[in-house]
């Protein structure tokens, strides 16, 4: 049985502008930062965030009940699709800073905690602006736990992808 459509807003206003500006700022930042990874690895680090956004917002948060809606309605809109691309610069910057400051594995939990706190603050602002609309008892503290878990897997993912990239570079070097 499909749930009735919920409408929170019908105007192109602050939530849409925040998404557009946030995405543009993120992309410009990625472009301006000195390159640290191969292009293929950079794309994977960017796509990691977008995929996690889709994973939680369209699969886990939707079933069995919809814990939150994104932007103006409970239906999927073009602005929702654009808003998930905002997670791309976030994940890229997570990996970039982790690599830039050569965070040692024993300090990873501190890095993850700081990053999860920043992410939770960003989400709090997004809720206030009207990008997220919580439902069925969902709270910001649940998101904090999810950020801790997701970013912990990101650290493991970082090492796996770096190793895969090094192996690929070696293979390419041997082949040429």
Per-residue binding string, other proteins, 96-115, x by CB under 8 A, is ----x---------------
Binding-site member from 15, 23, 26, 44 for other proteins (CB under 8 A): 44
Tell me how far apart the alpha carbons of residues 164 and 31 are, in angstroms, rounded to a whole number.
24
DSSP for 2-40 reads PPPPPBS--SS-HHHHHHHHHHHHHHHHHHHSPP-S-HH
Question: What is the C-alpha end-to-end distance of the chain, expressed in Å?
Answer: 58
Q: Which is nearer to other proteins, 62 or 103 (CB)?
A: 62
Give the C-alpha separation, 75 to 164, whole Å. 38
Mask of contacts with other proteins, 48-77, x by CB under 8 A?
Answer: x-xx--xx--xxx-xxxx--------xxx-
| Residues near other proteins, by CB under 8 A | 1-2, 34-41, 43-44, 47-48, 50-51, 54-55, 58-60, 62-65, 74-76, 81, 84, 100, 161, 164-165, 167-169, 171-172
């Amino acid at each position: 049985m499909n749930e009735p459509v919920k409408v929170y807003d019908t105007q192109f206003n602050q939530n849409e502008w925040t998404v557009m500006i946030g995405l543009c700022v993120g992309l410009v930042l990625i472009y301006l930062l000195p390159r640290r990874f191969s292009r293929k690895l950079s794309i994977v680090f960017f796509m990691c965030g977008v995929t996690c956004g889709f994973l939680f917002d369209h699969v886990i948060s939707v079933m069995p009940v919809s814990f939150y809606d994104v932007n103006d309605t409970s239906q999927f809109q073009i602005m929702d699709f654009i808003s998930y691309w905002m997670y791309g610069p976030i994940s890229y910057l997570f990996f970039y800073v982790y690599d830039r400051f050569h965070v040692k594995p024993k300090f990873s939990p501190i890095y993850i905690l700081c990053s999860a706190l920043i992410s939770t603050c960003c989400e709090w602002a997004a809720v206030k602006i009207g990008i997220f609309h919580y439902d069925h008892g969902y709270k910001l503290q649940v998101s904090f736990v999810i950020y801790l878990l997701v970013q912990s897997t990101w650290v493991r993912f970082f090492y796996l992808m770096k190793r895969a990239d090094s192996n690929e570079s070696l293979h390419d070097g041997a082949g040429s």
